[in-house]
Every structure is written in C-alpha cells, then in structure tokens.
C-alpha cells in the first residue's frame, strides 16, 4: 500500500511554500519511514529556496526533522518501528572523512544530500505521478512522513523520554553546528577568551557550549540588543553591539587577544575583525554563509607568525551517533537550554515560520506536523 503524506513544496522565492499531497516510494534496505512530529526551519532551507545552494526545484526541503519510526528496511539497525528519532544530514559512510567519523566533510555530500534524489537517481517522493525532488539532507522533513537513512537517523536515548520531540528537532543542524564548532572543531580550552559573532541559533549554541567548555570571558556580538540579552542569559559574560566598534571593545577587554573567534555572520568585515583579534595560537572558526564571490585577505606574516589559524567549519564536525546524545545529556543537565530559542508554528503556518526567521522575530522556528502520541 503506497504511503501518502502532506509535504510543503518549494518552487523558488517567487511563490510561498505550498502544502500538497505526495506519495512515498517503497523503502530500500538502508531506509526508514518516519512519521514527522516536528521540523526546525534553518537558513539553509531559505538559501535553497533562493537558489544560492544548487538543489533542484521544485523540492521538499526541511532538514531538522524529528519523529516516530513506522517502518524500517531490512538492513537498518539505527532504530526500529516505534522509536523516537532525530534526523540530520546524510553521508556515504565510505570515504576518507566518513572513515574517521567526520561525516560533515563527506566526499559524497552532494549526491547524498542535495541532488534531489537517491544516489542512484531514483525519487523518494512522487507528486501527481511524477518524480519530485526530495531526499533533501537524506530526509525532506517539511512533510508529515519522510524517508530517512540508517546514517542520518539517531534514536533518542531513553533518558530523554520526557523531552518532547518538537523540542529536540533542531539538534540535527543549527544546534549541533554551533555546539560542535566549540566542542569538537575548535576544541575550546577552559580559561581562554572566546568571541562569538552573530547571535542566531548557531551563535547561541556556541555560547552555551563555550560555557560548558569553561571559556572565559565569553563575548557575544550582534546588532540586535534583544538577542544580546538572550546571549547573556545563555552564558555570555560580555555583550557588545556590532554597531558600536565591538572590535575596539574586545581589544580593551582582552588585550592579549582572543583564544577563539567564531563567526556565524559570513560578513567579510566581521571575519577580518575577528581574525585581527586573535592571540598567538588563536583560532578563528568560520561557519557563516557568505557571498560565494567574497574573498578574505590576511597579512601573511601575522598568519604565520603567531601560529594563528582560520578554520572553515561544517556542521560542527558532528559525528551524529555520539554527539547528538551528548547534546541531549547536556540539555537534561540544564547546561544546554536551547528551548529558549524556539518558537512553534503549525505545519500549515510554514510561510509565517519562514518570515519569522527572516525578520528575526523568532530565533529558531519549529513546525509541528503531528502530535507525538
Ligand atoms: C549543514 C552543512 C553540512 C553538514 C551539516 C550541516 N548545514 C546545514 O544547514
Ligand atoms: Zn541547516
């Protein structure tokens, strides 16, 4: 019996997302069918809508899904029917990056996440009898059901049985990216200063993680005072508005320089300022979506002289199976209170949720597709 779902179809930025009925393909051995309970909205969804990312449209987007497994293919061991799961990005499991548990740098990232189909070209979703681009991040969770894979599905540990899936859904992208950048990519050391530029989901997750790591001081920079106040609640020790020469203020506060600067803005000037504030051996992590044409300039002597490093970061170097449960653990202990970032919307309000993300009124919109029980 074919399974039908309601899915939000993205046809570009000239029209709103439209919820229509689609049909799911039969499962392959490594696939799971998940009833989606909730899905976070991430800026990458909008980047695809605007075609800054080359995913073919029309397509079903959504890559922060969480839900209940309904059926699994013969080779699946990650979860079983009835399990509560979080979905994230997919990877091949068989390249030099996947071999060392660094799947965010999977050599085959594009075909597994952004091609609109399975790697063999087959479609996971059909619309009116025709192939529809889907399998986005190996899920396409702006829908009531999704086909996910063994490698991008993480079972929610029983210790988190009381935490609603709608809250856990954003762990699969923005939250793991910010927290992972601090804890896994830059490996922030206790007692060293960090500045986080941009207080969106990724920046806020980085601030919470910097507190976990014991960084000191923890400086948040943003142009929005409300966000700065929230950053302070989540662990920042100092906040500076980017409109008032934040670089000079950071230099006054940390005359020896920063151990870590983390840019989530993708703005050239901000990154160059951040880089210029580094102490010897300081690391500047960059994760913001920048204009593809932008180039940065660095002074060669300063680059080499103090052993300073600039590090491009994807997905916080997250290894899903180990890192997502770790973040859930921090959340259970009250050290990762990311629920403060979330605003909930019903699935049919998807265009309002996207508007709220874009106008900055909600840090992390989460769509509700179905009740958990
Ligand atoms: C991704 C980028 C690749 C690794 C996982 C996260 N970002 C999505 O928005
Ligand atoms: Zn994302």
* Residue 128 pLDDT greater than 90, yes or no: yes
Atom of ligand 1 minimally distant from the CA of 113: 3
Give the domain range for residue 101: 3-172+337-368
26 with 146, same domain: the answer is: yes
64 with 131, same domain: the answer is: yes
pLDDT of residue 299: 82
Structural domains counted in the chain: 2
Residue 320 makes CB contacts below 8 A (sequence gap 6+) with: 88, 103, 151, 152, 154, 172, 176
255 with 296, same domain: the answer is: yes
Q: Is the CB of 41 under 6 A from ligand 1?
A: no
pLDDT of residue 304: 81
Separation of CA 313 and ligand 1 centre (Å): 10
* Residue 300 pLDDT greater than 90, yes or no: no
Residues with CB under 5 A from ligand 2 (ion): 42, 44, 173
pLDDT band at 293 (very low <50, low <70, confident <90, very high): confident
- 333-356 confidence digits (pLDDT tens): 999 999 999 999 999 999 999 999
234 with 279, same domain: the answer is: yes
Phi, psi angles (nearest 5°) of residue 259: -70, -35
DSSP state for residue 41 in the 8-state scheme: -
Task: Tell me what percent of the residues of the chain surpass a pLDDT of 70.
Answer: 100
Separation of CA 345 and ligand 2 centre (Å): 18
* Residue to substitute in 46, 89, 103 for testing ligand 1 pocket (most ligand atoms within 8 angstroms of CB): 89
219 in Cβ contact with 195 (< 8 Å): yes
270 with 343, same domain: the answer is: no
45 with 69, same domain: the answer is: yes
- 244-280 confidence digits (pLDDT tens): 999 999 999 999 999 999 999 999 999 999 999 999 9
273 in Cβ contact with 238 (< 8 Å): no
* Residue to substitute in 173, 174, 357, 364 for testing ligand 1 pocket (most ligand atoms within 8 angstroms of CB): 173
Q: Which residue CA neighbors atom 7 of ligand 1 most closely? A: 315
135 with 209, same domain: the answer is: no
Atom of ligand 1 minimally distant from the CA of 88: 5
24 with 161, same domain: the answer is: yes
d(CA 366, CA 360): 14
pLDDT of residue 131: 98
Residue with tokens 């203020």: 249
Atom of ligand 1 minimally distant from the CA of 104: 4
147 with 126, same domain: the answer is: yes
d(CA 217, CA 235): 10
Residue 318 lies in a domain: no
Facing residues of 283 across strands? 260, 309
**Mean of the pLDDT values across residues 122-127?**
98
pLDDT band at 301 (very low <50, low <70, confident <90, very high): confident
**Mean of the pLDDT values across residues 162-184?**
98
* Residue 161 pLDDT greater than 90, yes or no: yes
275 with 345, same domain: the answer is: no
SS3 category, 309? strand
Separation of CA 52 and ligand 1 centre (Å): 14
Q: Is the CB of 315 under 6 A from ligand 1?
A: yes
* Residue 302 pLDDT greater than 80, yes or no: no
pLDDT of residue 308: 93
pLDDT band at 219 (very low <50, low <70, confident <90, very high): very high
d(CA 188, CA 282): 10
Q: Is the CB of 103 under 6 A from ligand 1?
A: no
87 with 20, same domain: the answer is: yes
């Amino acid at each position: 019996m074919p399974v039908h779902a309601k899915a939000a179809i993205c046809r570009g930025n000239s029209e709103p997302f439209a919820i229509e009925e689609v049909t799911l393909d039969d499962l392959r051995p490594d696939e799971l069918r998940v009833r989606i309970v909730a899905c976070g909205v991430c800026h990458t969804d909008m980047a695809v809508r605007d075609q800054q990312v080359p995913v073919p449209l029309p397509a079903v987007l959504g890559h922060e899904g969480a839900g209940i497994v309904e059926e699994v293919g013969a080779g699946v061991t990650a979860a079983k029917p009835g399990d509560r799961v979080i979905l994230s990005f997919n990877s091949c499991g068989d390249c030099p990056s996947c071999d060392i548990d660094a799947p965010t740098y999977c050599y085959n990232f594009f075909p597994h996440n952004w091609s609109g189909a399975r790697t063999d070209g087959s479609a996971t979703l059909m619309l009116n009898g025709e192939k529809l681009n889907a399998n986005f991040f190996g899920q396409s969770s702006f829908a009531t059901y999704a086909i996910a894979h063994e490698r991008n599905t993480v079972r929610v540990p029983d210790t988190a049985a009381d935490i609603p899936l709608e809250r856990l859904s954003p762990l699969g992208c923005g939250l793991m990216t910010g927290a992972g950048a601090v804890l896994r990519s830059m490996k922030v050391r206790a007692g060293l200063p960090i500045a986080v530029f941009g207080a969106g989901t990724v920046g806020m997750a980085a601030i919470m993680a910097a507190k976990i790591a014991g960084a000191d001081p923890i400086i948040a920079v943003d142009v929005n005072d409300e966000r700065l106040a929230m950053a302070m609640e989540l662990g920042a020790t100092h906040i500076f508005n980017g409109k008032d020469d934040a670089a000079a203020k950071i230099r006054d506060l940390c005359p020896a320089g920063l151990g870590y600067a983390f840019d989530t803005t993708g703005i050239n000037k901000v990154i160059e300022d951040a880089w210029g504030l580094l102490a010897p051996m300081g690391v500047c992590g960059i994760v913001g979506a920048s204009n593809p044409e932008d180039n940065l300039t660095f002074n060669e002597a300063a680059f080499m002289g103090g052993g300073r490093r600039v590090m491009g970061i994807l997905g916080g170097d997250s290894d899903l199976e180990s890192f997502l449960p770790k973040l859930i653990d921090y959340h259970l202990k009250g050290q990762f209170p990311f629920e403060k970032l979330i605003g909930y919307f019903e699935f049919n309000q998807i265009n309002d949720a996207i508007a709220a993300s874009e106008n900055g009124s909600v840090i992390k919109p989460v769509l509700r597709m179905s009740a958990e029980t």
